């Protein structure tokens, strides 16, 4: 496997592991009924979390090649790999359009 694919898998796992904690801290920081001190502490803890645990740092990559652009979300493949697999009949329900 390419290192980009491994890095992507690791980042997605970090996001999944920290998602509930992040949501809790975000809820606390945005809840205006709580005291300002509590909200500030929650914001500091949110800032102390690792950056790769944020979903904003996830970038779609092709699972076959690790290519970073032209990725179709539904299949997680880049355009070229999608075309090759569709023509070989490896993607169920996908066929070449002809009119």
Q: Are residues 6 and 45 in the same domain?
A: yes
The whole domain housing 22 covers: 1-58
CA–CA gap between residue 87 and residue 77 (Å, rounded): 14
8 assigned to some structural domain: yes
Q: Are residues 51 and 79 in the same domain?
A: no
Cβ contact 45:39 at 8 Å: no
pLDDT in tens, 64-95: 888 889 999 999 999 999 999 999 999 998 88
CA–CA gap between residue 64 and residue 18 (Å, rounded): 26
Q: Are residues 40 and 66 in the same domain?
A: no
pLDDT higher than 90, residue 46: yes
Q: Are residues 5 and 50 in the same domain?
A: yes
Q: Are residues 4 and 50 in the same domain?
A: yes
Number of domains into which the chain is organized = 2
Mean pLDDT computed over 17-24: 94
Q: Which long-range contacts (CB under 8 A, 24 or more apart) does 19-25 make?
A: 19/55, 21/49, 22/46, 22/49, 22/53, 22/54, 25/49
């Amino acid at each position: 496997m390419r290192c980009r694919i491994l890095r992507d898998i690791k980042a997605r796992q970090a996001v999944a592991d920290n998602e509930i904690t992040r949501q809790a801290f975000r809820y606390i920081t945005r809840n205006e009924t709580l005291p300002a001190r509590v909200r500030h502490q929650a914001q500091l803890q949110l800032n102390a979390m690792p950056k790769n645990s944020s979903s904003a740092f996830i970038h779609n990559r092709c699972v076959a090649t690790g290519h970073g652009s032209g990725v179709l979300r539904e299949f997680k493949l880049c355009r070229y790999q999608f075309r090759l697999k569709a023509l070989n009949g490896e993607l169920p329900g996908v066929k070449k359009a002809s009119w």
